[in-house]
Amino acid sequence: MDAQTLLLLRRASYGPTPALLAEAQRTGRQAWLDRQLEPAAIPDDYVTGVLRRFPRVQWPIAKVRAEYADDFGSWDVMVELTRATLVRAAWSERQLFELMVEFWSNHLNVTCPSGDVWDSRADYDKVVRQHTFGKFSDLLVAASLHPAMQSYLDNASSTKEHPNENQGRELLELHTVGVGTGYTEDDVKNSARILTGFGTDGSGEAVYRADRHFIGPVSVLGFSDPNSSAEGGQELAVRYLEYLARHENTARQLATKLSLRFVSDNPPASLISRLTQVYLENDTAIVPVLRALFGSREFATSAGQKVRRPYEDLVATLRILGMKADAKGIAGIESLHWMILDMGHAPLYWGPPNGYPDVAAAWQSPAGTLARWNAHLDIAARWWPKTLTGPALTTLIPSPRPATHGALINALAERLLQRKATKAQQIAVCDFLTDEWHKITPATPIAKDSVIIGWRLPYVVSLLLDSPAHALR
């Protein structure tokens, strides 16, 4: 497979699988991308079936509250949402869509699980999914006025007498124009005033209360309105949010974050400027921006510039080894959830409103590296989780079997890492296999009782997954 196609697959999915590699090889890079940008046309029967084990993620707010009438504040639905999110990332055929759902969930972060959104966070996820490949202006309005965001950023408690500045500030700092783009403290206060009146009612649903809306002139970054009627507060907030979504600084912030996600920890200014223009010219539509990004020279020359975060590493490991969900039940999926919690990168779980960092430096530590390596071995050896399904590890061994240890290590590397093993890797693995009775080198023939095709095969596989080649997006 050519290097450009492989780069696209590693960046626009959670990691290649043999089937994904074969599909891209058959259809070509552009056709694969075109298909991913039309997710509704991609059958996803396997994931649909697994998600039936998590029925509560589809419940509306009213049903969550009704079912937990005797246990208000339960985290059950939010935990189920986290596990369903992991399922979609690992096994959905709609890989780029799931990556972008994660991107928007991170950009418009509402921590899950979190006590304030116990009844509304799963419904919020549906809103993000609905608008993931649409216009950011529509997503921003829907997310900002959703009861989960209203509760998470305290706007539900905001009144005309005492406007709570939290959502008004984060809307500017994080969700749209970005910090350092010239807004003032007065802008923040007016941003909060515009959002007064919105909140949640006794049933947990979104509500607008005109009697709580601030009345008086408001002005934020060139947006101004006499705001003379409380009854017009709803329409005012929508116009304000749509104005911010179309602001040039919002376009630049989103272009920067998309470039950080898919291109480089230090994205080129040329790419950011181009994507900013594409965003503005297409009235905040996201798909044209993604097409421009993946078709850019900057993307094509970015190999080796992005590192998988722990969650992405775990999911990529499942995918390349062909691991699937439990045949029945969810014990294995629950174990994966605990595993990624221990690694500090459970989906949706980031506490502050700014979302998980997406640069390698934020995730580098000896403990983090050890956690990844332990996960590789646990999964490869089928030690934990025990109930996931998938092919036996011996199916990774080509037929006919390579004659020497070096040739087999090379074949395993091509299967797992989509590249040949370096001579140093071959020697290192052979040194690991060497004991006091057997000196193993890359040239050593493989006998029928060689440990490399027996009890030490999981260790060899995990050692290859421990390499920098697997760590890279």
Q: How confident is the model at residue 151 (pLDDT cuts 50, 70, 90)?
A: very high
Give the residue from 281, 33, 237 showing the smallest Cα distance to 144: 237
Q: Summarize the confidence of residues 10-22 as an average pLDDT.
A: 96
Average pLDDT of 87-110? 98
Distances (CA, A) of 63 to 45, 66, 125, 143: 26, 5, 16, 20
The H or E element containing residue 170 is: helix 165-170
CA 437 to chain centre: 47
Whether residue 76 is predicted with pLDDT greater than 90 in this model: the reply is yes
Q: Are 176 and 244 in contact (CB under 8 A)?
A: yes
- 3 state DSSP class of 75: coil
Distances in Å between the Cα of 413 and the Cα atoms of 410, 416, 425, 463 are 5, 5, 10, 10
Hey, is 406 helix, strand or coil?
helix
**Is 83 in contact with 122 (CB distance < 8 Å)?**
no
pLDDT value of position 60: 97
The answer to whether the CB of 15 falls within 8 A of the CB of 319 is yes
| pLDDT (mean) for 463-471 | 97
37, 96 contact by CB (below 8 A): yes
Taking 90 as the threshold, does the pLDDT of residue 452 lie above it?
A: yes
Structure tokens at 337: 């959830």
- According to the model, what pLDDT value does residue 180 have? 87
Q: Using one digit for the tens of pLDDT, what is the confidence trace for 238-263?
A: 999 999 999 999 999 999 999 999 99
**Average confidence score pLDDT of the chain:** 97
437, pLDDT greater than 90: no
Q: What single-letter DSSP state applies at residue 285? A: B
Give the N- to C-terminal CA distance of the chain in Å, as an integer.
16
Confidence of residue 290 (pLDDT cuts 50, 70, 90): very high
- Element of type H or E holding 199: strand 198-200
pLDDT at 438: 87
CA-to-CA distance for 51 and 331, rounded, in angstroms? 14
The residue among 249, 257, 466, 255 whose CA lies nearest residue 376 is 466
Asked whether residue 360 carries a pLDDT value surpassing 90, the answer given is: yes
Distance from C-alpha of 417 to C-alpha of 404, rounded to nearest angstrom: 19
Sign of CA dihedral 401, 404, 405, 407: negative
Q: Residue 444's pLDDT is what?
A: 98
The pLDDT tens digits for 208-238 are 999 999 999 999 999 999 999 999 999 999 9
Give the dihedral sign, CA 443/444/448/454.
negative
Question: What integer pLDDT is reported at residue 261 of this predicted model?
Answer: 98
Residue 293 has a pLDDT of 98
Share of the chain above pLDDT 70, in %: 100
Per-residue pLDDT, 436: 84
The overall longest dimension of the chain from CA atoms, in Å, is: 88
Q: Does residue 454 carry a pLDDT above 90?
A: yes
Within 8 A by CB and 6+ apart from 84, the residues are 51, 54, 57
Q: Determine the angle formed by the axes of helices 121-131 and 76-91, rounding to 10 degrees.
A: 30
**Rounded CA separation 233/170 (Å):** 20
Mean pLDDT of 189-204: 97
Per-residue pLDDT for 361 more than 90?
Answer: yes
Digit-coded pLDDT (tens) for 362-397: 999 999 999 999 999 999 999 999 999 999 999 999
H/E element, 78: helix 76-91
Nearest-CA neighbor of 141 among 237, 212, 284, 223? 237
pLDDT at 1: 82
What's the rounded mean pLDDT across residues 175-185? 94
DSSP state of 385: S
